[in-house]
């Protein structure tokens, strides 16, 4: 297969007019695709943007299903939906649940062998090692201290799929946990009341990521910069942003890109099971969630995840928040792939990598999605 007449997103985070081949499910130089009789499929991109398939490293569910349902069919359904909107690699998140439920979730993910739709490339372990004071939509009764033994058991049950684990660094035992497992998983600061000093210590010990920046943490203050200030000061730290138009004001999104630089920002959806469905009442982590438009809340008004998928968030970032398309695409493809250690096989349009890509028109509408070179 050869895809022609497209603007290809490169590893330099720019678009260039050109063409590229696909052979045996991998990107390839056009010259390597041809056969002696020249019988190859030609795809006319009609001037579309050609971008890598998006990589969502933090979402909970969509189209009525949730990763925490611990059901292989649910994972398969989510994978198909995500691929349909241009997300080709998924790293869904757990919640703060009972230990028994966490074991079931990990075992289910470890057994999953789905081949349709988006690829299950990891797990984001959001909870239970968080702060009750900033629990958000997490269940307080299941919050517990950091436990390396429990983490390793869950990791083994998942088949080593856990790519990120979230902690509140101010909690007892958090720094010891970081020191013990930092070489095994990306450690993210999340659902926390940590001040600048506590967050900075955690980053120096080996944490390197912040979960949904601004949400479920103290605000940035000129005298108390908190987690946000500490993350800004550690050049190795990457931060997640939910650009659904609900979680963060557009001016703050622009300020974040200015403070951190596009290479350190990762767009996520944090979507819950209502994504892709109509307004109504749903659940997240066992709690009722009420969805109206892009906003999902608990009964008390607490924001409970997002009802927008990652492609929708990327579109909002560009069209309503003023983020350059080149930056937004990198933050939804290359950056998350690098963060969870899968950039060797996806996240860019590079010969030898999986042929996961999306064709977008000039309004950023999805025209076609391919996974391993197969149209979805």
Find the catalytic residue in 270, 309, 327, 354.
270
Average pLDDT over every residue of 274-291? 88
Segment 141-187, tens digit of pLDDT: 999 999 999 999 999 999 999 999 999 999 999 999 999 999 999 99
Residue 363 confidence (pLDDT): 97
Do residues 164 and 336 make contact, with C-beta atoms less than 8 angstroms apart?
no
Angstrom distance (rounded) from CA 282 to CA 271: 12
What whole-number distance in Å separates Cα of residue 60 and Cα of residue 291?
A: 15
Per the annotation, the verdict on 279 as an active-site residue is no
Positive/negative CA dihedral, 273, 94, 321, 83: negative
Q: Could you tell me which of 193, 202, 338 has the C-alpha nearest to residue 265?
A: 338
Which among 14, 57, 37, 150 is positioned nearest to 346, based on CA atoms? 57
Summarize pLDDT for 201-240 with one digit per residue, the tens.
Answer: 999 999 999 999 999 999 999 999 999 999 999 999 999 9
Q: Residue 31 has what pLDDT?
A: 78
Residues 90/59, Cβ–Cβ less than 8 Å:
yes
**Domain formed by 54-346, architecture:** Alpha-Beta Barrel (3.20)
The full 3-state SS of 286-321, as one line of letters, equals CEEEEEECCEEECCCCCEEEECCCHHHHHHHHHHCC
Kindly give the pairing relationship between strand 287-292 and strand 295-297.
antiparallel
Residues 317, 330 contacting (CB under 8 angstroms): no
Residue 166 to residue 353: CA distance in whole angstroms: 29
Query: Would you kindly state where each structural domain of the chain is located, as residue ranges?
Result: 2-50+361-375, 54-346
- Local confidence band at 38 (pLDDT 50, 70, 90 cut-offs): low
β 366-371/357-360 pair status: antiparallel
pLDDT value at position 37? 53
For 248-264, the pLDDT digits (tens) are: 999 999 999 999 999 99
Helix (H, G, I), strand (E, B) or coil at 148: helix
Radius of gyration of the chain (CA): 20
> For 286-296, what is the mean pLDDT?
87
Q: pLDDT tens digits, residue range 98-135?
A: 999 999 999 999 999 999 999 999 999 999 999 999 99
Q: Is the pLDDT of residue 12 over 70?
A: yes
Q: Give the three-class secondary structure for 189.
A: strand
Q: How far is CA 56 from CA 92, 331, 334, 335, in A?
A: 8, 10, 11, 10
- Count of other CB atoms within 10 angstroms of residue 363: 7
Instruction: Please give the pLDDT value at position 296.
Output: 87
Q: How far apart are CA 233 and CA 157, in angstroms?
A: 36
Average pLDDT, the chain: 95
């Amino acid at each position: 297969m050869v895809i022609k007449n497209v603007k290809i997103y490169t590893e330099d985070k720019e678009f260039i007019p050109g063409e590229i081949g696909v052979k045996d499910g991998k990107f390839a130089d056009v010259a390597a695709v041809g056969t002696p009789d020249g019988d190859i499929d030609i795809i006319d991109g009609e001037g579309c943007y050609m971008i890598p398939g998006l990589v969502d490293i933090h979402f909970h569910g969509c189209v009525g299903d949730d990763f925490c349902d611990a059901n292989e069919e649910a994972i398969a359904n989510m994978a198909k939906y995500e691929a349909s909107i241009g997300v080709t690699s998924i790293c869904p998140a757990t919640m703060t649940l009972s230990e028994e439920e966490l074991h079931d979730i990990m075992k289910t993910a470890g057994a999953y062998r789905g081949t349709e739709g988006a690829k299950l490339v990891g797990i984001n372990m959001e909870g239970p090692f968080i702060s009750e004071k900033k629990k958000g939509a997490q269940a307080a009764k299941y919050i517990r201290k950091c436990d390396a033994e429990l983490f390793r058991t869950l990791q083994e049950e998942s088949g080593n799929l856990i790519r990120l684990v979230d902690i509140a660094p101010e909690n007892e035992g958090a720094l010891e946990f970081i020191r013990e497992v930092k070489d095994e998983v990306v450690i993210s600061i999340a659902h926390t009341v940590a001040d600048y000093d506590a967050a900075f210590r955690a980053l120096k010990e080996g944490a390197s990521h912040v979960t949904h920046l601004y949400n479920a943490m103290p605000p940035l203050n000129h005298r108390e910069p908190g987690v946000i200030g500490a993350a800004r000061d550690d050049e190795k730290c990457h931060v997640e942003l939910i650009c659904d138009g609900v979680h963060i004001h557009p001016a703050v999104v622009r300020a974040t890109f200015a403070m951190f630089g596009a290479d350190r920002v990762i767009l996520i959806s944090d979507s819950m099971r209502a994504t892709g469905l109509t307004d109504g009442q749903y659940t997240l982590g066992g709690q009722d969630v009420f969805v109206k438009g892009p906003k999902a809340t608990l009964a008390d008004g607490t924001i409970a995840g997002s009802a927008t998928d990652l492609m929708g968030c990327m579109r909002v970032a560009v069209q309503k928040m003023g983020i350059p398309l080149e930056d937004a695409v990198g933050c939804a493809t290359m950056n998350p792939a690098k963060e969870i250690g899968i950039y060797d096989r996806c996240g860019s349009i590079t010969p030898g990598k999986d042929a996961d890509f999306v064709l977008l028109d000039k309004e950023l509408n999805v025209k076609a999605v391919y996974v391993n070179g197969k149209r979805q």
